Structure 1
Amino acid sequence: MSNLDRQASLSVCGGRGFVVAEPVRELLPPRHVKLGESTEVRRLLPNLGRRMVGAWCFVDHYGPDDIADEPGMQVPPHPHMGLQTVSWLHEGEVLHRDSVGSLQTVRPRELGLMTSGRAISHSEESPKPHARFLHGAQLWVALPDAHRHVEPHFQHHADLPRVTAAGLDATVILGSLDGAASPGTTYTPIVGADLSLTAGADLRLPLDPDFEYAVLAMSGEAHVDGVPVQAGSMLYLGCGRTDLPLRASSDASVMLLGGEPFEEEIVMFWNWIGRSHEDIAQAREDWMNGTRFGEVKGYGGPPLPAPSLPPTHLKPRGRVR
């Protein structure tokens, strides 16, 4: 799911000013956001305490939701620019359509990676019929200035590399982990991995000390560097780590997110990332006028209108807390 908040506000992110250069244990509580009439997500990024982790700039956790008698996910066509979207499921399916002609059903632990580049629009919906439960995460990766105007494209990878150890089965979503590299295209040094821990797991996961990291708890309860993290919460870990202690007394699943701290300062509003207020204003005008972002064909409903811009003229100022 994307950002459907009708009360969207400008966020300034990026820069190294608030990157923690040493290991920390900073627990980030979620903000509960209603999407539509029946869906609620737990938003972890941007957060009042932390705006980015590497190039990861947006994280929603949703479910498990029982949608047996519901339409499930129904996200009408909407635009993106300057970012990549990562669709990651533990349960259910999502049918992706976009303005470059992609039509793909994404299933659990398959990578749906959309690079918006200069402009794209897409829709997301639960297929008919669909599974009873829907559970997953929607994440965004900010594109660096050198690549934010690339041609839009969509990638689907059903077979992703895995890292296994006693009590651990890790799927590498983006970047590389312990020598295993995802086929997904990246534009900054980054890592994303889904870590399944079995009861009794007690291990240390190798990390890159130049990256900053966070862990998103998906299900169960794991202890990350001694801190219990429950589903729907995120633990920010800072930089300077060569490994990460993980322990689970029962089955649990977490997502490891990390990357080199994102140096550039960005402006994020609704579903767009730019470098200035003017970038965002132009994107809004283009979307409302039906230009630049293309057309999503096959979705049974109208596209989403963009929210109004705030009256303030905001300039990026870095990692504002």
Structure 2
Amino acid sequence: MSNLDRQAAPSVCGGRGFVVAEPVRELLAPRRVQLGEGTEVRRLLPNLGRRMVGAWAFVDHYGPDDIADEPGMQVPPHPHMGLQTVSWLHDGEVLHRDSLGSLQTVRPRELGLMTSGRAISHSEESPKEHARLLHGAQLWVALPEAHRSIEPHFQHHTDLPVVTAPGVTATVILGELDGAVSPGTSYTPIVGADVTLAGGAEASLPLDPDFEYAVLSMSGEAEVDGVRVLPGSMLYLGCGRTELPLRGVSDAGLMLLGGEPFEEELVMFWNWIGRSHEEIVQAREDWMSGTRFGEVKGYSGLPIPAPELPSVPLKVRGRVR
């Protein structure tokens, strides 16, 4: 998924010094962003007050949108480096193409995981024949120094492990939850899980006290540690928790995101995660000159040009503004 904001601004994130080392309940409001042609997203990360949750560095929630008479998602070819993209759907389909030659339709509750490593480009679109509704989330995971320049690759997993309890089902998207491990490759201690909660149900999810966590509300109404969350909002929870109480006000869909606080400080600009201003400058030059990021074949349309860099050098700082 691309950051298509033509007024792209640098995001500075990472570093343990800004991690909340105790349980908190910080409700994050989204920023509305137009994505490609006809798709509006609610951007939860990076947020004005919080840049990362573990290695999770970017979270968009979109839909449910009625696209029966619309083309749906149309995101032209664009580049990535230094990160993984996670595509997760509740409704609809997204056709993924990339510069490695991958061509894959991702459907609800299937994991589309693209590791950009040193450089990749891809496009995302609703198939010509598509379902009436489109609803999902697009997320990025920052790659640590030791792995951020690896060879790019794409994974598609349809059989993901599930953790169940009365009234709750949790599908493990990435990392580990309650002993269930996702087949998706991860490079930092992390967890991502899709949680379905029945109305009236009460349950507790086991957590790692060394991780920081957040919960994204996808649908319905739920109480997360006593805080009511509505679709399109995200509750940041900090660290130091061994369990997370949940209650379904109605049937609800949630995403649990967490991980070991990311130590490295980063620069995130447009669709790239780097460590310095010079890296971002080089990435922009390479994309605009048609080198390094490869070519996405088969998409009907031109690649997205990179936005202009700011007039001052990009700097790394911390996890919160």
Q: Which residue of 2 aligns with 1:300?
A: 300
Q: Which residue of 2 aligns with 1:270?
A: 270
Q: Kindly tell me the number of residue pairs found equivalent between the two proteins.
A: 321
Q: Which residue of 2 aligns with 1:235?
A: 235
1:242-297 CA deviation, whole Å, 9 max, x = no partner? 00000012100100000000000000000000000100000000000000000000
1:156-184 CA deviation, whole Å, 9 max, x = no partner? 00010000000101100000000100000
Q: Which residue of 2 aligns with 1:69?
A: 69
Conservation of the 8 A alpha-carbon contact between 1:81 and 1:119? yes
Q: Which residue of 1 aligns with 2:46?
A: 46
In structure 2, how many angstroms separate the alpha carbons of the residues matched to 1:273 and 1:36? 21
Conservation of the 8 A alpha-carbon contact between 1:26 and 1:237? yes
Specify every segment of 5 or more residues in structure 2 that has no aligned partner in the other structure, as ranges: none
Helix, strand or coil for the counterpart of 1:57?
strand
Are residues 1:12 and 2:12 paired? yes
Moved more, 174-183 or 35-44: 35-44
In structure 2, how many angstroms separate the alpha carbons of the residues matched to 1:318 and 1:144? 16
Shift of residue 38 of structure 1?
2.6
Shift of residue 37 of structure 1?
4.7
In structure 1, how many angstroms separate the alpha carbons of the residues matched to 2:228 and 2:116? 36
Conservation of the 8 A alpha-carbon contact between 1:84 and 1:143? yes
Q: Which residue of 2 aligns with 1:202?
A: 202
In structure 2, how many angstroms separate the alpha carbons of the residues matched to 1:62 and 1:47? 16
1:51-102 CA deviation, whole Å, 9 max, x = no partner? 0000000000000000000000010000000000000000000000000110
Are residues 1:105 and 2:128 paired? no
Helix, strand or coil for the counterpart of 2:121?
strand
Give the RMSD, CA atoms, in angstroms.
0.7
Q: Which residue of 1 aligns with 2:246?
A: 246
In structure 2, how many angstroms separate the alpha carbons of the residues matched to 1:228 and 1:194? 18
Shift of residue 34 of structure 1?
1.6
Conservation of the 8 A alpha-carbon contact between 1:54 and 1:212? yes
Helix, strand or coil for the counterpart of 1:20?
coil
Are residues 1:94 and 2:94 paired? yes
Q: Which residue of 2 aligns with 1:79?
A: 79
In structure 1, how many angstroms separate the alpha carbons of the residues matched to 2:153 and 2:4? 22
1:87 is aligned with what amino acid? S
Q: TM-score, normalised by structure 2?
A: 0.99
In structure 1, how many angstroms separate the alpha carbons of the residues matched to 2:273 and 2:62? 23
In structure 1, how many angstroms separate the alpha carbons of the residues matched to 2:55 and 2:236? 14
In structure 1, how many angstroms separate the alpha carbons of the residues matched to 2:70 and 2:56? 31
Alignment of 1:85-234 (within 5 A): 85-234=85-234
In structure 2, how many angstroms separate the alpha carbons of the residues matched to 1:268 and 1:52? 11
In structure 2, how many angstroms separate the alpha carbons of the residues matched to 1:164 and 1:290? 47
Shift of residue 213 of structure 1?
0.1
Helix, strand or coil for the counterpart of 1:288?
helix
In structure 2, how many angstroms separate the alpha carbons of the residues matched to 1:269 and 1:49? 17
1:142 is aligned with what amino acid? A
Q: Percent identity?
A: 84
In structure 1, how many angstroms separate the alpha carbons of the residues matched to 2:320 and 2:257? 20
In structure 2, how many angstroms separate the alpha carbons of the residues matched to 1:63 and 1:121? 24
Moved over 3 A (4+): none
Conservation of the 8 A alpha-carbon contact between 2:36 and 2:73? no
Conservation of the 8 A alpha-carbon contact between 2:35 and 2:75? no
In structure 1, how many angstroms separate the alpha carbons of the residues matched to 2:316 and 2:204? 37
| Aligned CA distance change for structure 1 residues 156 and 36 (closer, same or farther; 3 Å) | closer
In structure 2, how many angstroms separate the alpha carbons of the residues matched to 1:34 and 1:116? 23
Conservation of the 8 A alpha-carbon contact between 1:2 and 1:138? no
Helix, strand or coil for the counterpart of 1:286?
helix
